Amino acid sequence: MKYLEEYRDARAARHYSRLLRKMVTRPWTIMEVCGGQTHAIVRFGVDELLPPEIMLVHGPGCPVCVTPVELIDKAVEIAARPNVIFCSFGDMLRVPGSNSDLFSVKARGGDVRIVYSPLDALKIARENPSREVVFFAVGFETTAPANAMAVYQAKQLGVKNFSILVSHVLVPPAMEAILSSPTNRVNGFLAAGHVCTVMGYHEYEPISRKYRVPIVVTGFEPVDILQGLVMCVRQLEEGRAEVENQYTRAVKREGNTSAQKLIQEVFQVVARKWRGIGEIPSSGLGLREPYREFDAEERFGVASQCVEESPECISGLILQGVKKPHECPAFASRCTPEHPLGATMVSSEGACAAYYRYRRPQATSPARSDEA
């Protein structure tokens, strides 16, 4: 299969592994930003192919994981109302809020539906004009164009019973927050390829210059990640700090300008709270004034809520690369996918979920060794 098998080729993986072992002369800590890359690294054992000097830490690039508790609570409150059809991606249903989750609302009779696109939710709204239909709009720059399109179409079509609960976050401000932290130990980044297909990578160039940190736009297969690491480590060893693009088969520097225009038409940059991390200035998207009628928080009067997160969950430290999942005392004991303390254990892109699935002692390794 073109663009898949060649990026899971074991000989190519060994080649890049040998290159890394030859070029590295000192310890480097590199963060992969995206949860999809984290799962590929753990699933295929990419980190086990690296020389001991290279440490990978996992970043805040899982949209489900960084959705704050307050938003989950608001989703639960709205979804429990009798005249509401609440639509969401499936990952969000088991993410715990303060006292409940969307799956529990559904079990109690709430009309909570899993959809695969915000346009599906808009279709449901048009088919049910007597009911309020709400879509849980979570995600990074990757999902923003589709969510913007749903709101844009709703306005154009005059659909009055559709709204979105917005929890959009942006990658570059989160990277700056990590680099500015006194606990930062990241020397280089593997940037998420799919985010860059939308936004390009010109946004990363000022960050690379300001913090003297290499950033390599990278894909999601094992060979992609190893090649991205070679490019990143080569820069570190040569004392360079630039933005490079490993994912050239999908990413251009300017990104998808049509998608960017649609995002800018519907959304504006706002401050946003990240679960386990706190508020990061200019790190999220909110609806612009002409589209505020589609804001579920205002429509349902749930705009102001502030709750405390579980002190037992260390997902914030994991999302900032300070800790790894297996360093959490609750990992795989008091925190499991069936009874998660935090979103990183229940999301399909969560770092804790990756370690639980692929790295527990009882987890099977043959699949990984066969596929790498």
Q: What is the pLDDT of residues 276-292, one digit of tens each?
A: 788 999 999 999 999 99
Top pLDDT among 365 and 308 is at 308
Q: What is the pLDDT of residues 143-183, one digit of tens each?
A: 999 999 999 999 999 999 999 999 999 999 999 999 999 98
Domain annotation covers residue 346: yes
Contact 54, 339 (CB under 8 A): no
Tokens of 133: 């239909």
Q: How far is CA 341 from the centre of its chain?
A: 18
Residue 344, domain extent? 325-358
Above 50 in pLDDT, residue 363? no
Domain annotation covers residue 107: no
Top pLDDT among 99 and 261 is at 261
Domain annotation covers residue 334: yes
Q: Work out the average pLDDT over 19-34.
A: 96
**Crossing angle between the packed helical segments 222-238 and 35-44, to the nearest 10 degrees:** 100
Domain annotation covers residue 272: no
pLDDT at residue 125, rounded to an integer? 98
pLDDT at residue 361, rounded to an integer? 57
pLDDT band at 64 (very low <50, low <70, confident <90, very high): confident
Above 70 in pLDDT, residue 2? no
Tell me how far apart the alpha carbons of residues 121 and 296 are, in angstroms, rounded to a whole number.
14
Tell me how far apart the alpha carbons of residues 331 and 42 are, in angstroms, rounded to a whole number.
16
Top pLDDT among 281 and 370 is at 281
Q: How far is CA 49 from the centre of its chain?
A: 25
pLDDT at residue 278, rounded to an integer? 87
Above 70 in pLDDT, residue 368? no
pLDDT at residue 367, rounded to an integer? 40
Q: What is the pLDDT of residues 196-217, one digit of tens each?
A: 999 999 999 999 999 999 999 9
Q: Work out the average pLDDT over 48-64.
A: 92
Q: Percent helix, strand and coil across the chain, each rounded to 5?
A: 45, 20, 35
Domain annotation covers residue 335: yes
**Among 189, 86, 91, 198, residue whose Cα is nearest residue 142:** 198
pLDDT at residue 311, rounded to an integer? 77
Above 90 in pLDDT, residue 341? no
Tokens of 275: 């679960």
pLDDT at residue 48, rounded to an integer? 94
Tell me how far apart the alpha carbons of residues 26 and 236 are, in angstroms, rounded to a whole number.
10
**Among 14, 33, 6, residue whose Cα is nearest residue 232:** 33
Q: What is the pLDDT of residues 226-238, one digit of tens each?
A: 999 999 999 999 9
Q: Work out the average pLDDT over 363-371.
A: 40
Domain annotation covers residue 347: yes
Going from the C-alpha of 84 to that of each of 162, 226, 267, the distances in angstroms are 10, 47, 24
Looking at the chain, the whole-number percentage of residues with pLDDT higher than 70 is 94
Secondary element (H or E) of residue 371: helix 366-371
* CB-neighbour burial class of residue 113 (10 A; exposed 0-12, middle 13-18, buried 19+): middle
Domain annotation covers residue 342: yes
pLDDT at residue 63, rounded to an integer? 84
Top pLDDT among 91 and 196 is at 196
pLDDT at residue 305, rounded to an integer? 63
pTM of the model: 0.88
**Radius of gyration for the chain, computed over Cα atoms and rounded to the nearest angstrom:** 21
Tokens of 177: 């927050």
pLDDT at residue 98, rounded to an integer? 86
Q: What is the pLDDT of residues 93-138, one digit of tens each?
A: 988 888 899 999 999 999 999 999 999 999 999 999 999 999 999 9
pLDDT band at 370 (very low <50, low <70, confident <90, very high): very low
Lowest-pLDDT range of 22-36, 190-204, 306-320: 306-320
Domain annotation covers residue 297: no
Looking at the chain, the whole-number percentage of residues with pLDDT higher than 90 is 74
pLDDT at residue 275, rounded to an integer? 84
Domain total of the chain: 1
